Each structure stands twice: as structure tokens, then as C-alpha cells.
Amino acid sequence: MAGLNPAFERLQGNYLFAEVRRRVDAQAQADPSADIISMGIGDVSQPLVPAVLDALRKAVDEMGDAATFRGYGPEQGYAFLREAVVRHDFAPRGVALSPDEIFISDGAKCDIGNIQELFAPGAVVALTDPVYPVYLDSNLMAGRGAGPDGIILLPCVAENNFAPALPGRRPDIIYLCCPNNPTGTALSRDELARWVDYARREEAVILFDAAYEAFISDPAVPHSIYEIPGALDVALEFRSFSKTAGFTGLRCAYAVIPHGVRGRASDGSLRPLHPMWARRQSTKYNGCPYIVQRAAEAVYTPEAQSALADVLAVYRRNAQAIRRTLAGCGLRVFGGEHSPYVWVKTPDGMLSWDFFDMLLRRAGVVCTPGQGFGPSGEGYARFTAFASEEHTARAMERLSSLF
Ligand code: MLT
């Protein structure tokens, strides 16, 4: 028989959101009349906006006409979208990127899961804890973190205001997510600058997940790590159209791989990551569909931007309602101000999966247990603001009467 990758034996039994779904399905079977409201996985509820739909339809028609039909596209993404990204997401913030530093993909989850392939098998990884499980699992699958050096976990808890301390020993790769999934908190400009300085000093690479930047409500909080001087030499950034434009089903995202970011090759020389990622993508990926890239381009039109502001306002109101209700129930709440996620301390030291089960059984409300995001998530739970306003209001009524 073929030998199997032993690294898989070190993974948690189920991917976090698959386990949440398993428990929800079991509850729905046990009580078919239960009206279960999901505030678990961060999946959006508001439909695509009209300008995006128009672009999608137009692109579909192009695909049906021999004169405009497109086959394989460029693996890195069409220039029209890469140029739009640079023009709208970075230039207004004073960040000088060139379109060839942008790699379009079908999701930030894939990008952030795949990017670790560029680093040495023995690279030391530092993760904030709790953390989006993909960072950890993708490194475990690649065999990292098995030896005594393991993975460096940087606790982010109420006691340190969810701001990770610098590691006690040197990592090669540092994952930062801001605004953070799952805690919903954001790092200040000074805190981010401390990380950029650290990475420069220690010759580490920062993998910066900015999937939730559109939710930032304080102009002092940076939207991109490249707003910090020196970051273009040490950080890669990951962005997504999923949460900002409702693309969780359509699938489009991008990775920024600046030419200046380098790592150490086996001969000791410093080499840029950009050609390696280009090589990796062109070998394993044929590009995000043309019609989806046209839809993503339309996100930047004034019509779409104005409609999307209304969509984001729905999620922001939901986050405020969740914060207000749960705080009113006597729970300690965090996040939700620059993020669609509200992070809640469970009452009386309750374990987070027990809290999850209680809410599911007694209120038909699904949250995500904090422990699933790492050891420092124990004793917390995450609520997403991505449900409809009606569902959020109904869930909050039920929770108010539960506590
Ligand atoms: C989450 O709930 O953490 C996210 O929706 C997961 C994802 O974006 O893959």
C-alpha cells in the first residue's frame, strides 16, 4: 500500500467549520422543527450588487461569441483587474505597487494556505493565537511544527488587549491578520510598525491577511501593511472580494508579492519570492475565471461602491446589535468595531464547545467556539455579523432571554 503523509495524523479531527456544520446538522436531525440561525462561519448573506451582476452578465455573453470568447487566461490574472487593484486599493493610500506584483486568485484561503510552499520545510512559523485555522493546518500538512522547535504561538487575549507580543525566539514566517479573524480587533499603526521593524531586523517574512480591511472604521488604523514604511521589503499581503463584495460563492481574491521581499536560498543567497510564486501559480493554477475577474473589476465602479457601502452598513449594524445585546446580557464583548466578528468571553469560565452546544440546543443559534481557533481561544466564542438583519435580530432576542 502507498505510505500516507504522516503530517495529517497531527491535524485536529475535522476542519473547524466542518465540525461546526456536523454538530448543526445533528441538531437539525434531532429536532427538525428547530429554526437554526447561523452566526458561525463568516459567510455573507447580502446578494451581489447590480453593477457586479451587470458585468458578470456582459462577460457571460462575451464567452458565447467567437469574437470575444476567452480560453485559458493569464495565470496571474488579467491586467485589467490587476491594474484596477493597484489604482483603487493602494495608490490612494500612498502605496506604490506595480500591477505585476498582484496575483489574482479564486480565494484568499487558497493563497494563504498555499503560500507556505515557498518556504523551507524547516522554516519556523509564528502564529497569533487564536488564529484562522488555515495558517496552522497548511503548515502542519507540509510537515512543519513537528520537532521541538514547533510552531511559535503568540497569545492574544483580553489581558494583552489582543495585541501579540513579539516572539521570544526568531521565526522565519509570521502570520498577522488585521482586522483579526477571530477576535475582531485591529492593530494600530504603531503596533504594525513594531512588527515590520522586527521582521526587517530578524530577516523574517510577514504574511499579512487583510481580508477584512473594508470593515475598518477608524481612519488611524492602516488598511494595508504597506502603509508602514519598510513593509514592501518584508511583507506579503492577502486580500479578498469575499467579505467586501459578497464573493464567497463567486470566488475572487488576490495576493500582493512585492519584488522587494526576499528569502534565503539553500546556497545562502537572498532571492526574491515573486518569481517563485509566479512559478508555483503557473504550475498549479490556471487562473480565476474571466467572468469572475470582470465582476471583480466592476466592484471598483462608483455604482458598485455606493451599493456596497449600504451592504457594509448592514453588517456594521448587525455587529453593533450583537455587541449591545451580549454586553447587556452581562457578557464581556470585544471586536466588532473594525470587523464583522464579535468575540465574546463565555460566562462562568464555560468551555467554548460547551457554550456552543448550549446556544445551539437552547436558542438555535450557531456561534464558533473559540477553542477551535487555538488554545488561547478557549473560554471565548465568535459571532459573525454576516447574517441578515432579520436573522441577527431574532438571534439576539433569543440570546437576551437565555441569559
Ligand atoms: C471564517 O468564518 O472564519 C471565514 O469565513 C472562513 C473563510 O473565510 O474561509
pLDDT attached to residue 231: 98
Q: Is 42 in the pocket of ligand 1 (CB under 6 A)?
A: yes
The arithmetic mean of pLDDT across residues 282-300, rounded, is 97
Nearest atom (ligand 1) to Cα of 384: 2
Longest alpha-carbon distance in the chain: 66
Question: Ligand 1 centre from 283 Cα, in Å?
Answer: 26
pLDDT of 179 over the 70 cut: yes
- The pLDDT confidence band at residue 77, using thresholds 50, 70 and 90, is very high
Cα–Cα distance, 314 to 297 (Å, whole number): 23
Cα–Cα distance, 223 to 230 (Å, whole number): 16
Cis amide linkage into residue 182, ω under 30° from 0: yes
Question: Ligand 1 centre from 264 Cα, in Å?
Answer: 32
Question: Ligand 1 centre from 343 Cα, in Å?
Answer: 14
The arithmetic mean of pLDDT across residues 213-230, rounded, is 97
Question: Ligand 1 centre from 133 Cα, in Å?
Answer: 9
Percentage of the chain modeled with pLDDT above 90: 97
Cα–Cα distance, 166 to 187 (Å, whole number): 13
Nearest atom (ligand 1) to Cα of 17: 2
- The pLDDT confidence band at residue 98, using thresholds 50, 70 and 90, is very high
Structure confidence by residue, pLDDT tens digits, 163-178:
999 999 999 999 999 9
| 53, 77, 79, 88 from 304: Cα distances, Å | 10, 21, 20, 13
* 28-37, 201-210, 231-240: the lowest-pLDDT one: 28-37
pLDDT of 148 over the 90 cut: no
Tell which residue, 345, 53, 336, 30, has the closest CA to residue 180. Answer: 336
Q: Is 282 within 8 Å of 75 (Cβ atoms)?
A: yes
Structure confidence by residue, pLDDT tens digits, 292-332:
999 999 999 999 999 999 999 999 999 999 999 999 999 99
The residue ranking higher by pLDDT, 307 or 148, is 307
Backbone angles phi, psi at 205, to 5 degrees: -110, 130
Q: Is 109 in the pocket of ligand 1 (CB under 6 A)?
A: yes
Residue-wise over 310-321: b if at least 16 C-beta within 10 A, else e? Answer: ebbebbbebbeb
pLDDT of 2 over the 70 cut: yes
The residue ranking higher by pLDDT, 79 or 12, is 79
pLDDT of 145 over the 90 cut: no
pLDDT attached to residue 147: 72
Question: Ligand 1 centre from 170 Cα, in Å?
Answer: 29
Tell me the sheet residues that pair with 251: none
The arithmetic mean of pLDDT across residues 372-376, rounded, is 95
Question: Ligand 1 centre from 176 Cα, in Å?
Answer: 15
Burial status of residue 149 (CB atoms within 10 A of its CB: 0-12, 13-18, 19 or more): middle
Question: Ligand 1 centre from 105 Cα, in Å?
Answer: 16
Q: Which residues, other chains included, contact 171 with Cβ-Cβ below 8 Å and sequence gap of 6+?
A: 124, 125, 126, 152, 202, 204
Cell numbers of 145, please? Answer: 511544527
Nearest atom (ligand 1) to Cα of 40: 2
Question: Ligand 1 centre from 66 Cα, in Å?
Answer: 38
Q: Which residue owns the Cα nearest ligand 1 atom 9? A: 109
Nearest atom (ligand 1) to Cα of 182: 3
Cell numbers of 320, please? Answer: 453593533
Query: What's the pTM value of the predicted model, to 2 decimals?
Result: 0.96
pLDDT of 118 over the 70 cut: yes
Q: Which residues, other chains included, contact 269 with Cβ-Cβ below 8 Å and sequence gap of 6+?
A: none
Q: Is 395 within 8 Å of 363 (Cβ atoms)?
A: yes
pLDDT attached to residue 150: 81
Cell numbers of 402, please? Answer: 437565555
Q: Is 41 in the pocket of ligand 1 (CB under 6 A)?
A: yes
Question: Ligand 1 centre from 129 Cα, in Å?
Answer: 16
Q: Best of 15, 16, 17, 341 to mutate for ligand 1, by most ligand atoms within 8 A of CB?
A: 17
Q: Which residue owns the Cα nearest ligand 1 atom 4? A: 42
* Per-chain mean pLDDT for the chain: 96
Cα–Cα distance, 341 to 328 (Å, whole number): 18
Nearest atom (ligand 1) to Cα of 132: 3
Question: Ligand 1 centre from 43 Cα, in Å?
Answer: 7
- Characterize the bridge pairing of strands 253-256 and 235-240: antiparallel
Structure confidence by residue, pLDDT tens digits, 10-57:
888 888 999 999 999 999 999 999 999 999 999 999 999 999 999 999
pLDDT of 89 over the 80 cut: yes
pLDDT of 161 over the 90 cut: yes
Q: Best of 38, 43, 383 to mutate for ligand 1, by most ligand atoms within 8 A of CB?
A: 43
Cα–Cα distance, 365 to 165 (Å, whole number): 34
Q: Is 46 within 8 Å of 340 (Cβ atoms)?
A: no
Give Cα 254 distance to the centre of its chain. 12
Nearest atom (ligand 1) to Cα of 240: 8
